[in-house]
Amino acid sequence: MEVIHPSSLDEALDALTAHPGAVVLAGGTDLMVLVNCFGLRPEVVVAVRRVPELREIDGSFIGAGVTWARLEGAPWPALAQAARTVGSPQIRHTGTLGGNLGTASPAGDGLPFLAAADAVVEVASRAGGVRRLRWDEFLVGPKRNGLRPGELILGARLPGPPPRRQGFAKVGARNAMAIAVASACLLREEDGATRLALGSVGPTPLRARRAEEMISAERRPSPAAVAEFGRLVSEEVRPITDHRSTETYRRHAAGVLARRLLERCLA
């Protein structure tokens, strides 16, 4: 096994050009499970933990290599809340937002925020330069993303400043070390425009467009409107039954989470 330690983005892209089949290693919290428990034996590893460009974070861009521990202090409360629910302190010190994108699990805790914020995922390769994919062009299925061979995830860009009223909530078996049974992120503008994304209730994170449309028209939603919002969310999600939960419970939980987040934003 060859391990390449690029010290810059240029070197990382060169390494991936020379070895398009290489495995990219950042925090390792997903990859090493495949090594330890599923016999993954990569031939070439490009270890990007020390690439400075991937560790950058500013007002509208989050580098793929930014760890959850750092995102706990992110300027976006919903993302900070999501970061705090990732794994354990040990996992959060190494795991990265880019790992959520690379793994593309529907349960990725950082993904509902990106979906609600209409984030654009930036990827790059030597041959293709920088490509920008809307979150739903990048997250195309369970554990499937739009990355091409030789491409590296640079990070996520937010198209505009998210509104002040925002929140994230998650249901799992316990507070720590829990893969989401259902999760939700809600952003609400001062004029009522509302965006709601849900995790673990479909093949990818998904937006509840009908519920969004209904509640966005309500400047001061009545209790009945809030309840209807939750009901629409339960109707709109597309969960499955698996070893973690049932379709019925996930539908119910998605509606409850959405309603609670809305109530918090209205308070």
Can you give the binding site for another protein, defined by CB under 8 A? 1, 3, 5, 25, 27-29, 31-33, 35-37, 40-42, 45, 47, 49, 69, 87-91, 93-94, 175-177
End-to-end CA distance of the chain: 55
* Residue 5 DSSP one-character state: -
CB of 246 to another protein, least distance (A): 23
Write phi, then psi, for 133 (nearest 5 degrees): -120, 130
Q: Kindly tell me which of 45 and 119 has the beta carbon lying closer to another protein.
A: 45
Q: How far is the CB of 22 from another protein (least distance, A)?
A: 12
Residue ranges of alpha helices (H) inside the chain are: 9-18, 31-38, 68-71, 77-84, 89-94, 97-103, 111-116, 135-138, 209-216, 223-236, 247-266
- Note whether 182 and 257 are within 8 A (CB): yes
Minimum CB separation of residue 178 from another protein in Å reads: 10
Q: How far is the CB of 1 from another protein (least distance, A)?
A: 4
In angstroms, the CA 44 to CA 132 distance is: 26
- Smaller CB separation from another protein, 33 or 227: 33
Judged by CB, which is closer to another protein: 92, or 251?
92
CB nearer to another protein: pick between 176 and 225: 176
**Residue labelled with tokens 């795991």:** 95
Residue 94 · residue 27 · CB < 8 Å: yes
State the nearest-atom distance from the C-beta of 7 to another protein, in Å.
11
User: Alpha helix (H) ranges present in 150-246?
Assistant: 209-216, 223-236
152 vs 197 by CB, closer to another protein:
152
Find the shortest distance in angstroms from Cβ 95 to another protein: 9
Nearer to another protein, 183 or 194 (CB): 183
